Structure 1
């Protein structure tokens, strides 16, 4: 049934059909859960990982170099720890003023595409700054990120392979520059860690590619999904405009109601209840976040909702999204800017949705300030 999700604007009718089979079911030989409780347990349980029980990598046909996202402990722990300082709360607070400035500059227009002209340029500007990527290269990085996201469903295309080669060449150039002249950025800190033999050159590139893609792919869809949800729910939009301090609540409800990442998978490292060693389980984050067992009126978009338990938009356990604090801050700033600068914002044309099972978001949303 999962293959039916491709191209669906709203996957929830399919999720509900799966939910009707019980909290844990099978589809084409793969375990699937729509339950928030089971999903959270699987994501936190160290008996599940992202690799096979013997530590080997499942073939996924990806061009991406291995990063800590595709690794289990202890390598996952070692590499994630090296990247963590760049995403500390103190660092994120330091970036807020820059994000506010970029958001305001991007909204100096009357008619525009919410995704291409606002939701995408904002986070790519921030992650490029964090990584120390020159402004002249940011557009190419944004295109690369979109192609990577598409490859989650369609596999590697010649266009993707070409973009991948260009990005790796750029990272090689930037790494060489930081070896000669270190700076105050993530690449410089990873180059220093490599010199201390805390990671290999290949692991460094894999970490940088992951941070680049994850650093804006979640945020662009968060901003897009939140704006669409608010405009589709005029009472909620009106409430938010009158109370901009609700921005964090809007972000959290969007992450629950329309999470950018709809699913993830884990592999059992030993027999766990009905799941046998080396069997896969797909965690349907989008379904778990609307589990009626834990969220009253689960399908209702309500910015005043009390989020207990926490949604799973950023996963859970050791793979909890490293950039969650950054994404939340960027979403907060972006939504406040829209409400302040464009209180009469409206959609002016048809929306084009991402043709993806994994990622929920839009390719295009034409809007106008009045």
Structure 2
């Protein structure tokens, strides 16, 4: 196994889809469900061109930056309603859980609305997201395998019913659009895996972006105060949180042909782990990289959304949700502070975020 923490090496590998791929050379990926249920097919995220290109293009229209203006008010409304609920819950001075009461239901509510999923069970979908995120590190126990199999089965049932509904009664949502693309543009199996990917990826990163961001801001009171008094800095806050405390810690690539990179001769067939969180603190790229500074001048694009053809499709939506979340929390709950109750971290080597984050409204 090879590994890099260097920004230039990680960026170069992510951008070179000819010599480095998300699958071993010649492996097209599964075309039918894993009957064991012990793997989670990440759809086009784990496909090479031309399949990757075809499937990504089908899903892309809903996540283009120009669509964000139409989503902004809907996200702001979700955000305000959740904060109102927090204010009521914490009115007597008791702590609330930022993850369960805000960071999870916000992006889950948004993505399920965009996809046309009615009456979504926020708690259950959040559990599925946690299971899938943990499975990215590998299955380490029979209990984890069982949890993933359950998540697979429930999500398969959800989308089987939803796809049938949208085929009979199409609407203005992402699933209806994907259904309309079959059979010419997407196979039934690809439709299932694409839908599951868009759902999980549509909220999993954002849950942890919001949680990590608020925790980091509260650990740096001067930065929280700066955001509170100048909420227009929210976009810069999002970028600095993504650099400093990214939800996705690492990714990997297979070497399709022998290559000389980063001073090493790497043979074909090798596997390279790219530590994105470390690359985001490369002192050769970012000045004072261990300092959290929302006024940091733009020096380089962080790698938290990857780079190249696999750059995160939902990045514009995640950025918008986090910007609105940080702005509204700083404005509505300016005295937000950590509770004496200890937070808990998720168990994953790929996804970094909180399972619980008890806070007080102040």
**TM-score exceeds 0.5:** yes
Does the 8 Å contact 2:28/2:48 carry over to 1?
no
Q: Hey, what's the Cα distance between the residues in 1 that align with 2:205 and 2:106?
A: 12
Aligned residue for 2:156? 168
For normalisation by structure 2, the TM-score amounts to: 0.91
Q: Hey, what's the Cα distance between the residues in 2 that align with 1:62 and 1:162?
A: 9
Q: Shift of the alpha carbon at 1:63?
A: 2.4
Q: Shift of the alpha carbon at 1:136?
A: 4.1
Please say if 1:106 is aligned against 2:77: no
Select which of 182, 203, 211 maps to 1:216: 203
Select which of 103, 107, 119 maps to 2:103: 119
Secondary structure at the residue paired with 2:155? helix
Runs of 4+ deviating beyond 4 Å: 56-59
Secondary structure at the residue paired with 2:96? strand
Q: Hey, what's the Cα distance between the residues in 2 that align with 1:281 and 1:176?
A: 40
Does the 8 Å contact 2:343/2:357 carry over to 1?
yes
Q: Hey, what's the Cα distance between the residues in 2 that align with 1:204 and 1:55?
A: 20
Select which of 49, 57, 76 maps to 2:21: 49
Q: Hey, what's the Cα distance between the residues in 1 that align with 2:137 and 2:356?
A: 19
Q: Hey, what's the Cα distance between the residues in 1 that align with 2:27 and 2:39?
A: 20
Q: Hey, what's the Cα distance between the residues in 2 that align with 1:151 and 1:124?
A: 20
Does the 8 Å contact 2:213/2:241 carry over to 1?
yes
Secondary structure at the residue paired with 1:135? coil
Q: Hey, what's the Cα distance between the residues in 2 that align with 1:252 and 1:367?
A: 23
Aligned residue for 2:222? 235
Q: Hey, what's the Cα distance between the residues in 1 that align with 2:315 and 2:120?
A: 27
Does the 8 Å contact 1:240/1:247 carry over to 2?
yes
Q: Hey, what's the Cα distance between the residues in 2 that align with 1:39 and 1:309?
A: 13
Secondary structure at the residue paired with 1:153? coil
1:291-302 aligned at under 5 Å gives the runs 291-302=282-293
Aligned residue for 1:188? 176
Aligned residue for 1:88? 64
In structure 2, the gaps of 5 or more residues are none
1:21-36 aligned at under 5 Å gives the runs 30-36=1-7
Q: Hey, what's the Cα distance between the residues in 2 that align with 1:317 and 1:198?
A: 23
Does the 8 Å contact 1:65/1:202 carry over to 2?
no
1:123-272 aligned at under 5 Å gives the runs 123-155=107-139, 156-195=144-183, 197-272=184-259
Does the 8 Å contact 1:352/1:364 carry over to 2?
yes
Q: Hey, what's the Cα distance between the residues in 1 that align with 2:174 and 2:218?
A: 37
For normalisation by structure 1, the TM-score amounts to: 0.89
Aligned length in residues: 340
- Cα distance, 1:62–1:44 mapped onto 2, change above 3 Å: farther
Q: Hey, what's the Cα distance between the residues in 1 that align with 2:274 and 2:297?
A: 23
Aligned residue for 1:38? 9
Secondary structure at the residue paired with 1:253? helix
- Cα distance, 1:66–1:358 mapped onto 2, change above 3 Å: closer
Q: Shift of the alpha carbon at 1:179?
A: 0.8
Q: Shift of the alpha carbon at 1:137?
A: 3.5
Aligned residue for 1:26? none
Select which of 335, 347, 353 maps to 1:355: 347
Q: Shift of the alpha carbon at 1:62?
A: 4.9
Secondary structure at the residue paired with 2:77? helix
- Cα distance, 1:56–1:187 mapped onto 2, change above 3 Å: closer
- Cα distance, 1:56–1:182 mapped onto 2, change above 3 Å: closer
Q: Shift of the alpha carbon at 1:272?
A: 1.0
The Cα offsets for residues 88-118 of structure 1, whole Å up to 9 and x where unpaired, read as: 1232221111111111111122231011110
The Cα offsets for residues 291-324 of structure 1, whole Å up to 9 and x where unpaired, read as: 0111110000000112321000000000000000
Q: Hey, what's the Cα distance between the residues in 2 that align with 1:260 and 1:249?
A: 17
Aligned residue for 1:328? 319
In structure 1, the gaps of 5 or more residues are 1-29
Does the 8 Å contact 2:337/2:360 carry over to 1?
yes
Q: Hey, what's the Cα distance between the residues in 1 that align with 2:8 and 2:228?
A: 34
The Cα offsets for residues 311-365 of structure 1, whole Å up to 9 and x where unpaired, read as: 0000000000000000000000000011011000011121111121101111111
Q: Hey, what's the Cα distance between the residues in 1 that align with 2:42 and 2:210?
A: 28
